Chains A and B, each alone.
Chain A
Amino acid sequence: GDSVTQMEGPVTLSEEAFLTINCTYTATGYPSLFWYVQYPGEGLQLLLKATKADDKGSNKGFEATYRKETTSFHLEKGSVQVSDSAVYFCALNGGYQKVTFGTGTKLQVIP
């Protein structure tokens, strides 16, 4: 079946540092890939998405590229802020909204 593996956290960075959160996947077919963000006490919100190989999703300074050859969808941001502190989930949708999530990576940004 489908699976998503993302780096374990927590990740602690200083403000303005570069962020990478690794995500790799296994899936049959051509899934859509997503990054969601969860702030304390809230549900998940879509951060960015990519629907086919080589697509780059971007939003709020975050970027991720759908790499079919390495089955990866790593999340990056050039300069993190304290307000980016949250839990980040990588996810794939193999169809019919049967979505598989990674375990989540907690990011803490310190001033």
Chain B
Amino acid sequence: NAGVTQTPKFQVLKTGQSMTLQCAQDMNHEYMSWYRQDPGMGLRLIHYSVGAGITDQGEVPNGYNVSRSTTEDFPLRLLSAAPSQTSVYFCASSPSEYQPQHFGDGTRLSIL
């Protein structure tokens, strides 16, 4: 009964490095999303996917890439890390367009 699994839980990067945040769900949900959470700003949508092979940009997509080759996985790639990308990142999934989302426990990312 894993739900939404995010790895790693913590990561420290240097400016300019690249990395991939992993997200996997075992509920066969079509919809998946990535958010970043910053103090005083709530959660902001980075990218989302409505099914395998289909992704779209959210509110703050710059500096991030996504792909969705399977229903289960939705990795988030930081191409060239910047200090402004220091944040807590959450992945979420949902079975349909209007249903509530299930969240992972987050990845805490610091960029020096």
Contacts and interface: CB of A to CB of B under 8 A. Distances in A.
Contacts of B22: none
B31 interface: yes
Interface in B68-106: 90, 92, 94, 97-98, 100-106
Interface of A: prevailing SS: strand
A49 B98 CA distance: 11
Contacts of A45: 103
A99 B101 contact: yes
B103 A97 contact: no
A46 interface: yes
B29 to A, nearest CB: 10
B42 A44 contact: no
Given A89-B43, A102-B42, A97 B101 contact: yes
Interface residues of A, number: 24
Interface string A68-108: 00000000000000000000010001011111111110000
Contacts of A43: 4, 90, 92, 103-106
25 contacts: A4-B42, A41-B105, A42-B105, A42-B106, A44-B43, A44-B92, A44-B103, A46-B101, A46-B102, A89-B43, A93-B98, A95-B98, A96-B31, A96-B48, A96-B97, A97-B31, A97-B33, A97-B94, A97-B97, A97-B101, A99-B33, A101-B35, A101-B44, A103-B40, A103-B41
Interface of A: 4, 32, 34, 36, 41-46, 49, 51, 89, 93, 95-104
Interface of B: 4, 31, 33, 35, 40-45, 48, 50, 58, 90, 92, 94, 97-98, 100-106
